[in-house]
Structure 1
């Protein structure tokens, strides 16, 4: 294999030509240095992938170390576990004091205990087995054979609703691969199932969740405010994308083959009349600017990258823009905490917006070539940058959508790729159910178990009220 070699050095015939070459190489070196210094503070690089020598610093310029030791501080109000209510399944042991005192008197115990100490434990974990036996008989006169048929409510697979739900929840919410699931069922429950049987169980759960997944999608699309984000997803050797759309009460996941406008329309619809909060990605450009708010967390990272560039011109302009962005966050937080009035809040925002545009215009022709485009794009998207000024319910960031995706990203690191289209459907439908259950503050396992049970027993399933 031939090794790659550097091209021959350029020739020059005059000092002016040499200066041009030096200037070009200097700009190229500055661009490579900026890329090398990328971290989670000034780019989209996740903290887990940045080098140890390139850790991100504090985002807030006014934040200083307190000098205190980690952990609970003196006079800190402690948090204790609340006593669990005594149910029928709980056993109560009562301990009474001695009947007589040292002086010879009779000790009368109080009606209520002075101390309640609860000990939780797990029962012996096992499984239940129901064997369904179908008999065959023959007519005593004509000899015709008759076979008994299993009732409709008997599952045709070897797994019941609870086991199906347990496997699906463990595979997604708790990031267990099929191999680990197989080992857990063997060690904890003494159940022996092949990897194919576990995969088939996941496939059946996928089919049962089809209607629920559609209901969640319709619920998200009908919301007045949506936050959207996407991350990479891989099926075998093909790179795909997991998209997430989040509303106030539901979260919808969808695997798409690309990260483009077609995928965005498949997720959000062609015509959008609600407010959408996203990053600056171009796939959302078909949406009207009046219905879209850009994420200020992404904007802050972009201007911090300009500030931390090695070029002095970039540092000055980026520093001013970062200071304005921090001021926007600080003003918004004080306003939401009712620490400043409406008049003062909007007056500050108008002043910050004017200064923001001034420094962006300077950066559009004074910054290096790498960052001029960022400044020009922010100027062109000014309506979407400050859309939150027209709606007090509009958030500054789409961090909620990123937090929803985080659970899937952790699972992706543990369980790696999917192998088929059915595997893509399993992940998108299960994570839609899990994250929606979190928003509704209900148990994802109990909800899934109810869906699986109704489908396996061939009973009509009613859509929950929060999805209707």
Structure 2
């Protein structure tokens, strides 16, 4: 029998004091003082201290006051709130190039999931004079995820997220900011569609019958899809079976779309008709996952990635400056990407801060994979 006992010894910070001798000229009164060695940062804190502040803020989403308290309680290191903010800014600048590299990687990936959620950004620094609502955007690939915060939810922000010449496959919901991406490059989220179908089925009359039929077809589709994923159904057989489901679903949508309603009508049937007409316009983008391997029918990956950001927003009430929003986006990018690759966040932060202080390139967030597997396909 073996029994282990894990313990952490008392942590005492290592403090190295540098005394700078100063002399005054007896003739002119000029003061001359020695300078710090080149390897000593004037902030007074080592790279690991700075990295821990970044991890407490970015990985564990602590407020500046909580970080201040944690540094004192855990490590016996006292620092002001202003120092915490300065160290967070140093971390943000240290990972800037790595985050930009991750952005380019995502924009050139074969399949990208995208989503967005509201975010609060104040105007302490004057960067948001109109007090506009900010939006946090995410672009997800299996191993690298990129976040950005913008004072807009329009297509320009989506283009900045994905790149103007995006040539991959976009997995998203039906939000209009992504409409500039061709339907042949899009896979719309069936989880969102299911919620729409359920809403229709809960309305009275014709809507209820139609919605029930749509939900039934969606359930048949996913029953087959689960068999493809677990290997009990070949993709070629799946494609043949899906054709009948697609025809039936399209027929139901068209039946609703052909109903006559007034332009300003707000009855339950009118809501159903408008929804079905909107879905029919993008119907070709519902089925890309059937023929292209590696494409999922839902946008769950992006929704999971954005969940920590939602928690951060709720606990911190957002940011007060543009620099604060940039810090949030960069930390989310670093933490989410490293977790996907099962890499240590503190080690990365430490190396990034050390590299920045030495004037060296930041460590990369990109995975070490066979580049031949990461080629972008042109589906246009």
- Give the equivalent residue in structure 2 for 1:76: none
Question: Which of residues 343, 352, 359 is equivalent to 2:252?
Answer: 359
Question: Which of residues 95, 118, 134 is equivalent to 1:240?
Answer: 134
Normalising by structure 1, report the TM-score: 0.71
- Give the equivalent residue in structure 2 for 1:404: 305
Question: Which of residues 176, 183, 187 is equivalent to 2:73?
Answer: 187
- Give the equivalent residue in structure 1 for 2:231: 338
Contact 2:139 2:302 in 1 (8 A): yes
Q: Distance in 2 between matches of 1:117 and 1:287?
A: 59
Q: Deviations over 1:58-97 (max 9, x none)?
A: xxxxxxxxxxxxxxxxxxxxxxxxxxxxxxxxxxxxxxxx
Q: Does structure 1 residue 209 correspond to structure 2 residue 95? A: yes
Contact 1:378 1:385 in 2 (8 A): no
Question: Which of residues 153, 157, 161 is equivalent to 1:267?
Answer: 161
Contact 2:239 2:291 in 1 (8 A): no
Question: Which of residues 307, 321, 331 is equivalent to 2:214?
Answer: 321
Q: Deviations over 1:378-422 (max 9, x none)?
A: 111111011222202211111001111111111111111211110
Q: Distance in 2 between matches of 1:339 and 1:349?
A: 16
Q: Deviations over 1:294-314 (max 9, x none)?
A: 0111111111111122x1211
Q: Does structure 1 residue 131 correspond to structure 2 residue 131? A: no
- Give the equivalent residue in structure 2 for 1:306: 200
Give matches, 1:20-419, under 5 Å. 115-136=1-22, 147-236=33-122, 237-309=131-203, 311-366=204-259, 368-419=269-320
Task: Please list every run of 5 or more consecutive structure 2 residues that lacks an aligned counterpart in the other structure.
Answer: 123-130, 260-267, 372-380
Q: Distance in 1 between matches of 2:59 and 2:167?
A: 33
Who wins on radius of gyration, i.e. which is larger? 1
Structure 1 residues 420 and 342: alpha-carbon distance in aligned structure 2, compared to 1, 3 A threshold = closer
User: Post-superposition shift, 1:135?
Assistant: 2.5
Question: Which of residues 353, 360, 365 is equivalent to 1:452?
Answer: 353
Aligned residues between the structures: 352
Structure 1 residues 280 and 144: alpha-carbon distance in aligned structure 2, compared to 1, 3 A threshold = closer
Normalising by structure 2, report the TM-score: 0.87
User: Post-superposition shift, 1:121?
Assistant: 1.4
User: Aligned to 1:423, what secondary structure does the other structure show?
Assistant: helix
- Give the equivalent residue in structure 2 for 1:99: none
User: Aligned to 1:122, what secondary structure does the other structure show?
Assistant: coil
User: Post-superposition shift, 1:446?
Assistant: 1.0
RMSD of the alignment, in Å?
A: 2.2
Q: Distance in 2 between matches of 1:403 and 1:376?
A: 29
User: Aligned to 2:119, what secondary structure does the other structure show?
Assistant: strand
- Give the equivalent residue in structure 1 for 2:378: none
Question: Which structure is richer in relative contact order (CA contacts within 8 A, separation 6 or more)?
Answer: 2
Task: Please list every run of 5 or more consecutive structure 1 residues that lacks an aligned counterpart in the other structure.
Answer: 1-114
User: Aligned to 1:368, what secondary structure does the other structure show?
Assistant: helix
